[in-house]
Structure 1
Amino acid sequence: MNKKILVLFLIFPTLLISQNDCGKFIEKYIPTDLNDAIAFFECKWSEENLNEFKNKEEQKATSELHFGTGRSLRNNWKLWAGTSELSKFFRDLGINHPDDMSGIILTSLHRKLNGIEIKLDNQIKYYKDYWAESERKETERKNKEFSEYKIGDIVEFTFDYDFVSKKQEEKWMDDKCYATAIIQDLNSEKLELKIKLKKSCDPKGIVILKYDVWEEIDGKYEKTAEDKIEIMKKGETRWSSYELWDIVEK
Structure 2
Amino acid sequence: MKKVLYIITILLITISCSKKSVPLGLRKTINQMERNLNDTIKYDFKIAPEEVAGTKHHFGLGLDLRNGKGLWRGSLLKTYFRLNGIWHPDDMSSIILTTFHRRLNDKPIQFKKQKKHFKEFWKVSSIGEDAKSIWWKKNHPEKQTDSLNQIYLSYFYKDRLVLGSVVALKKRKNGASLIDVKMIGQIIKRNDWKLKIKIIKLGKVEDGFELWEKVNDTIESETDSVYLIPITQE
Query: TM-score, with normalisation over the residues of structure 1?
Result: 0.41
Q: As a proportion of its length, which structure holds more helix? A: 2
Structure with greater contact order relative to length (CA < 8 Å, sep ≥ 6):
2
In our comparison, the structure showing a higher alpha carbon Rg is: 1
Query: TM-score, with normalisation over the residues of structure 2?
Result: 0.44
